[in-house]
């Protein structure tokens, strides 16, 4: 069971439609964007108060509403994640990062951008 599937079960139980096609229109993407903002603010506040329990709770809530946003917009999160992961991991050669003198991880020849279009099936 993926996080997105967990959230979709919650959405189905709550009569919130799961989008099959890509869209950013409608009340539900709007709702989930607002929830992401709300949860981010709560988490930031907890962080500023150095409240570990509330930070952990807030991070999980953020993942929850981000998954809800994906399912409200027809985004298969796993596919997008895999593209982003592959791109990030392409910064390493044989598991090692190339760093400059200041310690910044550099983008080697092997680096490639994530193909989000492909991940979305566009």
Please report, as ranges, the residues that interact with Mg ion according to CB under 5 A. 42, 61
At closest approach, how far in Å is the CB of 38 from Mg ion? 8
Nearer to Mg ion, 60 or 106 (CB): 60
Nearer to Mg ion, 36 or 120 (CB): 36
At closest approach, how far in Å is the CB of 72 from Mg ion? 18
Helices 52-73, 3-13: crossing angle, 10 deg rounding = 70
Secondary structure of 49-97 in HEC code, one letter for each residue = CCCHHHHHHHHHHHHHHHHHHHHHHCCCHHHHHHHHHHHHHCCEECCEE
Nearer to Mg ion, 37 or 88 (CB): 37
At closest approach, how far in Å is the CB of 97 from Mg ion? 34
């Amino acid at each position: 069971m993926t996080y997105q599937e967990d959230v979709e079960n919650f959405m189905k139980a709550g009569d919130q439609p799961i989008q099959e096609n890509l869209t950013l229109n409608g009340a539900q993407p709007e709702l989930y964007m607002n929830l992401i903002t709300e949860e981010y603010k709560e988490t930031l506040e907890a962080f500023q108060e150095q409240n570990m329990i509330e930070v952990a709770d807030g991070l999980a809530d953020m993942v929850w509403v981000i998954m809800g946003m994906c399912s409200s917009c027809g985004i298969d999160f796993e596919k997008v994640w895999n593209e982003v992961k592959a791109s990030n991991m392409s910064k390493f050669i044989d598991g090692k990062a190339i760093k400059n003198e200041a310690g910044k991880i550099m983008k080697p020849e092997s680096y490639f951008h994530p193909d989000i279009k492909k991940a979305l099936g566009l």
